[in-house]
């Protein structure tokens, strides 16, 4: 039976980075994955260009039952550290919006970099490997694989969450946590499009592909100002993905479709200048024409000239466009979600090392635990930071 200083399960963002760091510091590391290729989510990320971090990373951008847990790791391995690493590999990048950093060329460059970092650390990588069972004794952990058995003092679970099962997502990490008596918080899809109830969905389907800047507010008061996209299934776009992580089934969200316009003042000014102008054409100066036409067909925008718009109707219109209350039917679920909320309870783990208090030598890093970032590179930064914190501990062994 082959023994390693550390075995890392999951060759995704967190697992590869952790294995590489520990290996480079001298640990003998085995990296396991059940997939054919490492870093499959990285390749899909950021529309193929990987939004690998964010300039404005801060703990407030992470959801967790314990909002303090992420602070230590994020402070010890920052976005600037990762940017420096990317720079060492000559990977060109750019800031797209809101501090989001993307590769100029391809996400493959990030995967290649992580593979090279693993090689530099002499990490043994085994792909297409199923872990049949994990057992613990006085010497550490024994993993029965399809083929052979391996052992280690330190076992790192970096198997990610449940989103996108097509990219290898599995509940493996949660099952291991439960096997060793750790609490796992209920999971749900995050950063995911909303689906809509039948009548509204059918009414809005003509808008599929229309995108507008919006301010979207959840029932708990969380607000995002980004773009909203109408789709044939419901609502998507960055604003919707962001708020989906704060939305609970049955709740409403409020959407301001005109965040950059003081609609009352605009309508008053337009009425004074062009009283005979149609309300529809006036609103089309601020909103996509297709959206205005659709809302008029739905009776939300009266078919009148500006001079005919009375103050009660104007008030109603302002409310419709700036506080549109939508009750999503649900979300598209793990099939399209970018992340999984919930997971291994951070109260079970050390925020310095990611080690399970109840199971010495067992670590959880990345998305498998109950730390979920906003859209915009925050989730990869958590993968790098939690992996780095854990790797320091593997080295100290």
- When binding is defined by CB under 6 A, the residue of 306, 322, 377, 390 that contacts ligand FAD is 377
Q: CA–CA separation, 201 vs 230, rounded Å? A: 10
33 lies in the binding site for ligand FAD (CB under 6 A): yes
Burial class (CB in 10 A: 0-12, 13-18, 19+), 46: buried
244 lies in the binding site for ligand FAD (CB under 6 A): no
CA angle 370, 253, 45 (to 5 degrees): 50
Q: Of residues 164-183, which lie at the interface with ligand FAD (CB under 6 A)?
A: 164, 168, 170, 172
Q: CA–CA separation, 48 vs 106, rounded Å? A: 6
- φ, ψ (nearest 5 deg) of residue 147: 130, -60
* H or E element at residue 384: helix 378-395
In angstroms, give the least distance from the CB of 95 to ligand FAD.
13
- Of 10-18, 63-71, 293-301, 311-319, the window that binds ligand FAD (rule: CB under 6 A) is 10-18
50 lies in the binding site for ligand FAD (CB under 6 A): yes
- When binding is defined by CB under 6 A, the residue of 131, 240, 258, 349 that contacts ligand FAD is 131
In angstroms, give the least distance from the CB of 387 to ligand FAD.
8
In angstroms, give the least distance from the CB of 376 to ligand FAD.
7
- Of 70-78, 161-169, 242-250, 289-297, the window that binds ligand FAD (rule: CB under 6 A) is 161-169
- When binding is defined by CB under 6 A, the residue of 8, 30, 45, 155 that contacts ligand FAD is 45
Q: CA–CA separation, 305 vs 371, rounded Å? A: 52
Report strand pairing: 124-126 vs 149-157.
unpaired
Q: CA–CA separation, 160 vs 171, rounded Å? A: 8
In angstroms, give the least distance from the CB of 18 to ligand FAD.
9
Asked if 30 contacts 10 with a C-beta cutoff of 8 angstroms, the reply is: no
β-partners of residue 225 are 215
- When binding is defined by CB under 6 A, the residue of 158, 216, 229, 257 that contacts ligand FAD is 158
CA nearest neighbour of 234 among 191, 195, 198: 195
97 vs 272, which CB is nearer to ligand FAD? 97
196 vs 344, which CB is nearer to ligand FAD? 344
CB contact set of 186 (below 8 Å; sequence gap of 6+)? 342
- Of 252-260, 293-301, 302-310, 362-370, the window that binds ligand FAD (rule: CB under 6 A) is 362-370
160 lies in the binding site for ligand FAD (CB under 6 A): yes
370 lies in the binding site for ligand FAD (CB under 6 A): no
* H or E element at residue 343: strand 339-344
In angstroms, give the least distance from the CB of 20 to ligand FAD.
13
- Of 90-98, 115-123, 155-163, 245-253, the window that binds ligand FAD (rule: CB under 6 A) is 155-163
Phi-psi region of 280 (alpha: psi -120 to 50; beta: other; left: phi over 0): alpha
- Of 62-70, 117-125, 152-160, 242-250, the window that binds ligand FAD (rule: CB under 6 A) is 152-160
β-partners of residue 95 are 101
Torsion angle in degrees (nearest 10) through CA of 232, 233, 238, 244: 170
**Which pair of structure tokens corresponds to residue 265?**
């003042």
349 lies in the binding site for ligand FAD (CB under 6 A): no
Q: CA–CA separation, 315 vs 319, rounded Å? A: 6
- When binding is defined by CB under 6 A, the residue of 21, 34, 236, 346 that contacts ligand FAD is 34
Asked if 377 contacts 52 with a C-beta cutoff of 8 angstroms, the reply is: yes
- When binding is defined by CB under 6 A, the residue of 6, 9, 19, 204 that contacts ligand FAD is 9
- When binding is defined by CB under 6 A, the residue of 64, 109, 142, 159 that contacts ligand FAD is 159
- Of 31-39, 90-98, 117-125, 326-334, the window that binds ligand FAD (rule: CB under 6 A) is 31-39
Q: CA–CA separation, 375 vs 216, rounded Å? A: 14
236 lies in the binding site for ligand FAD (CB under 6 A): no
Site residues for ligand FAD per CB under 6 A: 9-15, 32-35, 40-41, 44-46, 50-51, 131, 158-160, 163-164, 168, 170, 172, 338-339, 366-368, 377-380, 383
């Amino acid at each position: 039976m082959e023994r390693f200083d550390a075995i890392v399960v999951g060759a995704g963002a967190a697992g590869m980075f952790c294995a590489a760091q520990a290996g480079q510091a001298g640990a003998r590391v085995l990296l396991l994955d059940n997939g054919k290729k490492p870093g499959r989510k990285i390749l899909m990320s950021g529309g193929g260009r990987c939004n690998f971090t964010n300039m404005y990373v801060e703990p407030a951008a992470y959801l967790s039952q314990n909002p303090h847990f992420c602070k230590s790791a994020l402070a010890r391995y920052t976005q600037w550290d990762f940017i420096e690493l990317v720079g060492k590999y000559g990977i060109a990048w750019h800031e797209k919006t809101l501090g989001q950093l993307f590769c100029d060329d391809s996400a493959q460059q990030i995967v290649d970099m992580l593979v090279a970092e693993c090689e530099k650390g002499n990490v043994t990588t085994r792909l297409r490997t199923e872990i049949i069972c994990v057992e613990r004794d006085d010497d550490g952990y024994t993993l029965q694989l399809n083929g052979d058995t391996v052992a280690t003092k330190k076992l790192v679970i970096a198997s990610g969450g449940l989103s996108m099962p097509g990219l290898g997502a599995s509940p493996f990490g949660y099952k291991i946590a439960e096997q060793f008596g750790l609490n796992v918080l209920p999971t749900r899809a995050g950063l995911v499009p909303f689906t809509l109830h039948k009548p509204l969905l059918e009414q809005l389907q003509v808008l599929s592909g229309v995108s507008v800047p919006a301010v979207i507010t959840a029932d708990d008061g969380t607000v995002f100002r980004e773009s909203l996209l109408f789709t044939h299934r419901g609502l998507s776009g960055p604003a919707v993905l962001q708020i989906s992580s704060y939305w609970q089934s049955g709740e409403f969200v409020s959407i301001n479709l005109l965040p950059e316009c003081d609609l009352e003042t605009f309508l008053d000014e337009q009425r004074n200048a062009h009283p005979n102008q149609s309300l529809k054409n006036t609103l089309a100066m601020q909103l996509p024409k297709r959206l205005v036409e659709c809302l008029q067909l739905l009776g939300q925008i009266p078919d009148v000239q500006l001079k005919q718009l009375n103050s009660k109707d104007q008030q109603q219109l302002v409310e419709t466009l700036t506080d549109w209350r939508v009750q999503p039917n649900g979300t598209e679920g793990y099939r399209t979600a970018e992340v999984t909320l919930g997971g291994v309870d951070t109260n079970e783990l050390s925020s310095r090392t990611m080690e399970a208090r109840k199971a010495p030598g067992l670590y959880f890093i990345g998305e498998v635990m109950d730390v979920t970032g906003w859209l915009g590179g925050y989730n990869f930064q958590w993968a790098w930071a939690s992996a780095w914190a854990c790797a320091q501990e593997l080295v100290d062994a």
